[in-house]
Amino acid sequence: MTTLHDFKLSGIDGTERDLADLRGKTVLVVNVASRCGFTPQYKGLQQLHQELAPRGFTVLGVPANEFGAQEPGTNDEIRSFCETNYHVTFPMTAKTVVKGDGQSPLYRWLTSAATPAGDVKWNFEKFLINGRGEVVGRFGSGVSPESQELRSAIQSALG
């Protein structure tokens, strides 16, 4: 069975990230964009990360430009934007294709393993992964990081 821990990605800084390093952690994988109406969710994602990291939680930000070309920047520009505007400290990948031609193997797996299965519909869609690397939740863009629905699911996954 495939899990999150079977994938490797480039980090936003260009170094390779082996997602096996996240074994045992609850992870919220989010496709992010700098010029989207949902971009202010970075603030809530950072708060979740800071608050729950001591319990084995992390956010994994995945910049993507498939929706309205709302992430046109380079990896350096994206990293600078996130650090400057939202003080992001959670890990981020290099810009990644999350839908359509050239879809990354990670997103091919996420969108088939999640319930409901199917393509990512917009920026800031969230996939919740348990410590074993299994998808245990999927949340649309409109579900904010502060929402009780998402927070309850994370608490449940944390055990």
Distance between CA atoms of 110 and 93, rounded to whole angstroms?
Answer: 15
DSSP 95: P
Instruction: Find the helix packing angle between 41-52 and 75-86, rounded to 10°.
Output: 80
Distance between CA atoms of 27 and 99, rounded to whole angstroms?
Answer: 20
The catalytic position among 6, 11, 35, 36 is 36
Structure tokens at 131: 């410590």
Residue 103, number of CB atoms within 10 A of its CB: 17
Q: Are strands 8-10 and 16-18 parallel, antiparallel or unpaired?
A: antiparallel
Residue appearing with tokens 């936003």: 12
Distance between CA atoms of 73 and 106, rounded to whole angstroms?
Answer: 21
- Decide if 75 contacts 55 (C-beta within 8 A): no
Active site (annotated) includes residue 82: no
Catalytic residues, which ones?
36
